[in-house]
Structure 1
Amino acid sequence: MSHEAFFAALHTGNAERVAAHLDADPALLTATSPSGLSPVLFATYYRQPALAQLLIERGAPLTAFEAAATGHAEVLQPLLDADPRLVAAFSADGFTLLGLAAFFGQVEVARALIARGADVNVASRNGLQVTPLHSAVAGRHADLAALLLDAGADVNARQHGGFTPLMGAAQNGHADLVRALLARGADPAARTDDGDSAAVFARDWSDPALRELLP
């Protein structure tokens, strides 16, 4: 069975085929996708948490980045104890541990990383240039956004293209998160490099609460 077929099964969420691939070739647990991702991160990125857990139960080794993305704080903590520099490290695709935890809603991991001094405002080293707050908003995790803001995250940080977290929340139609960001000082007048404000993105939604917040 090929690596390509294995990753295709992970992509589509076909647990039966993933298990069959692993039964035939356990070495697939340490295979690498065409984009350079491990099976665990690949499944996580494609929103297949049950398959990521299956891989872990089958013995897939976890790096700090995989542990952060999947919420395995019990694995991450010893790795950080052994190498404290990991708290500021970047993954192969340019994200910090905190950025991954923020996007995937791993509150316990994020809290532990912040306690260890993780920079809540560092941008990803890739084309997105997102901060952890951008990632939390993109993942629709209001609790994580609040945690980051409490730790000093810049509510008006700009990612590639000039997008702020408020714009991301408006683009997602997340009125409660928009409200929370505004309460923390998010600037509704800020504009992207193309001149669009958060209100422009809010117009794509019929939610009256969202439009009232961003007229």
Structure 2
Amino acid sequence: MAFSTYLKSIRVEREVNQTQMAEILDISRTAIKLIENGSTKYPSKKVLHNLSQFLNEAEIDVMSNILFDDNTKDKNELFIHHYLSYMYLDGWNIVEHPYTYSIWNNYNIEFDGKIVKKRQPKNIMIVTSYKREQFRVKEVKTRIDALGYVGDLVSKLIQVIDLYRGVKLIFNAEDKEEKVAFKYISEVQINHKGFNIEVVLYDENIGVVDNFKLLQ
């Protein structure tokens, strides 16, 4: 959802005019007009903070509503939206979501996202969830499962010739199965110098990374 659409919908829902919203956000009425005509794509830290206080919602949840159309009922999709919003607030721009890479003859491979560090255009990362990559190994319960899973992921990644520094493989800290998978996969050792694989255990309830490990 665009920031312009999001702010307009809030004003209509709360029966707040542009002048009143400007006072709430501590910005000028002209700034409100720039947001609502689409000239201002994303909120500043101050605007996001004031808007979150007005809505009585966490900043990361407000940002997720601005960045994504969260009408989906897919829990994994909502989880990834939350993580990508966390990364945006941590200084990353979301280049594509999902990230689709074309190989040949309409054969595509897909990840959950492609992000780039703000003011560091060469620092590009692929983001993908544990569940998205369950295409051969359906569940990781042992070290052998973990080896097969990581092997499949590496095989997929080496097909992408775009420049990227590495991949963030995201696990849901609230899911017992994924916590077990994180444990075993984080113990896998790989010797691949083309890119890094970072496994991340993310808690969407409080918007923090619970644990992470760089496979090496």
- The higher relative CO (CA closer than 8 Å, separation ≥ 6) is in 2
User: Which structure dedicates a bigger proportion of its chain to helix?
Assistant: 1
Q: Same fold (TM over 0.5)?
A: no
Bigger strand fraction: 2
Q: Which has the larger radius of gyration?
A: 2
TM-score after normalising by structure 2: 0.30
